[in-house]
């Protein structure tokens, strides 16, 4: 079996009956179902009438610095990565349910690479929480910036130092126009006050829901941090995405969505090494650091004004095959440690498996 056949890369051409275009992200593809199929599935799955459903298929693609990467032999995915991310996210979603935190957008899991999800009204804020000063925050701090998310940091902080309190540093999700002091660009740093003053433009139903978003971010971070600590890992920072669904009475209800607490959306460090003064990355940050240390000009990866050059670099730069396979081992090991279950690499046809897993929903095109 070749390396290429071990990773699922193309996920936007499955014969799933859907409306509109397939929403093809860096890692996932989403097929929003037709009105007719939605209506039929409400009864089949005992869902609230009006629920809009979609099929979310995760790939093994690896994205860093907003670009996708490939290896010297042409491998475009990290074997087992998608299944590992799904398994980790679902584990945290289950733990959140058990602890009485907010719900999530997953209705069913027909395959390790597939979620049946409910469409949410997204909050247009990247909910970022940081317990340590590292990464982009450290680079800004080193350059003299002291205000992050509207909070002023003290002088004298050291790289990778633990912060006295969990810091929330939100940024925009997508392009939002007409907000004073906020550029109309994706992923722009914002303050809590800017969110409160313009809560409706950020997708919040009420100003009070800004407090709820911070509570869900803090509670979720704390739960994951406690559990990872028992596994010998430091939960450094993370990004959550939140949105609204409806409760049993049809009222708006904020829930977690997308993925949570994964090594793609978070930083993990080895706890024993950190206590010895060493920072050992155990997440996608290790891959990001490898790129930064090996590309001809690291500023291309760090400077958003050089995005055209960055895209071109990602097309032409080839990562050694061993890096992808080491990343595969890392993700699968992390998923096994967190969930207590092994994540095998499928050597069968994942595409066929996915199609067969979706047939019971009656959404596969007749010719397939």
Of 367, 347, 311, nearest in space to 26 by CA: 311
**Residue 109 pLDDT > 90:** yes
Considering the domain boundaries, does residue 314 fall inside one?
no
- For all residues of the chain together, what is the average pLDDT? 94
Span 169-177, average pLDDT: 93
Considering the domain boundaries, does residue 204 fall inside one?
yes
Considering the domain boundaries, does residue 21 fall inside one?
no
Of 50, 109, 98, nearest in space to 357 by CA: 109
pLDDT of residue 272: 98
pLDDT of residue 5: 61
Considering the domain boundaries, does residue 215 fall inside one?
yes
pLDDT of residue 253: 95
The pLDDT tens digits for 351-365 are 999 999 999 999 999
Percent of the chain with pLDDT strictly greater than 70: 98
Number of domains in the chain: 1
Q: In the structure, what pLDDT confidence band is assigned to residue 347 with cuts at 50, 70 and 90?
A: low
**Residue 41 pLDDT > 90:** yes
pLDDT of residue 348: 72
pLDDT of residue 185: 86
Of 239, 243, 258, nearest in space to 28 by CA: 258
**Residue 1 pLDDT > 50:** no
| Residue showing tokens 């066929």 | 352
Domain of 194? 121-227+236-271
The length of the chain, given as a count of residues: 368
**Using DSSP, how many helices (H) and how many strands (E) does the chain show?**
11, 18
CATH number of the domain at 255, please: 3.30.470.20
Distance CA 317, CA 299 (A): 15
**Residue 309 pLDDT > 50:** yes
Considering the domain boundaries, does residue 209 fall inside one?
yes
Percent of the chain with pLDDT strictly greater than 90: 89
The pLDDT tens digits for 249-303 are 889 999 999 999 999 999 999 999 999 999 999 999 999 999 999 999 999 999 9
Considering the domain boundaries, does residue 248 fall inside one?
yes
The pLDDT tens digits for 64-79 are 999 999 999 999 999 9
pLDDT of residue 314: 96
- The number of angstroms, rounded, from the C-alpha of 101 to the middle of its chain's C-alpha atoms is 19
Considering the domain boundaries, does residue 250 fall inside one?
yes
**Residue 3 pLDDT > 60:** no
Going from the C-alpha of 18 to that of each of 44, 178, 216, the distances in angstroms are 18, 34, 32
Of 136, 202, 203, nearest in space to 167 by CA: 136
Beta strands in the chain (DSSP E): 23-24, 28-32, 53-58, 63-64, 67-68, 70-71, 106-111, 114-118, 121-122, 125-132, 147-148, 151-152, 162-168, 171-172, 233-246, 252-257, 266-270, 318-319
Going from the C-alpha of 236 to that of each of 92, 129, 224, 273, the distances in angstroms are 16, 9, 11, 14
Of 363, 343, 325, 352, nearest in space to 79 by CA: 325
């Amino acid at each position: 079996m070749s390396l290429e056949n071990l990773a699922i890369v193309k996920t936007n051409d499955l014969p799933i009956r859907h409306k509109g275009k397939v929403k093809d992200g860096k890692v996932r593809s989403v097929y929003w179902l037709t009105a007719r199929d939605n209506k039929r599935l409400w009864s089949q799955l005992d869902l609230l009438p009006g629920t809009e459903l979609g099929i979310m298929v995760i790939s093994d693609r690896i994205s860093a610095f907003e670009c996708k990467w490939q290896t010297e032999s042409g491998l475009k995915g990290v074997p087992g990565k998608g299944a590992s991310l799904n398994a980790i996210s679902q584990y945290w979603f289950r733990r959140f349910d058990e602890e009485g935190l907010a719900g999530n957008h997953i209705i069913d899991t027909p395959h390790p690479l597939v979620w049946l999800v409910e469409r949410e009204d997204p909050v247009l804020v990247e909910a970022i929480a940081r317990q340590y000063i590292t990464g982009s925050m450290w680079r800004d701090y080193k350059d003299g910036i002291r205000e992050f998310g509207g909070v002023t940091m003290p002088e004298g902080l050291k790289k990778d130092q633990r912060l006295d309190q969990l810091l929330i540093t939100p940024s925009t999700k997508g392009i939002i126009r007409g907000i004073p002091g906020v550029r109309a660009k994706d992923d722009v740093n914002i303050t809590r006050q800017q969110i409160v003053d313009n809560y409706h433009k950020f997708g919040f139903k009420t100003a009070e829901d800004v407090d709820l978003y911070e509570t869900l971010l803090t509670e979720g971070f704390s739960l994951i941090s406690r559990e990872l600590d028992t596994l010998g890992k430091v939960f450094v920072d993370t990004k959550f995405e939140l949105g609204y669904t409806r409760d049993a009475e049809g009222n708006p209800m904020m829930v977690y969505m997308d993925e949570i607490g994964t090594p793609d959306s978070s930083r993990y460090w080895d706890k024993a090494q950190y206590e010895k003064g060493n920072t050992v990355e155990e997440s996608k940050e290790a891959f990001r650091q490898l790129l930064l240390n090996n590309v001809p000009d690291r500023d291309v990866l760090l400077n958003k004004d050089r995005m055209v050059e960055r895209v071109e670099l990602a097309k032409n730069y080839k990562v050694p095959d061993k890096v992808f396979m080491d990343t595969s081992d890392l993700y699968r090991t992390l998923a096994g440690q967190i969930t207590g279950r092994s994540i095998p690499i499928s050597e069968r046809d994942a595409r066929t498996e996915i199609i067969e897993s979706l047939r019971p929903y009656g959404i596969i095109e007749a010719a397939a």
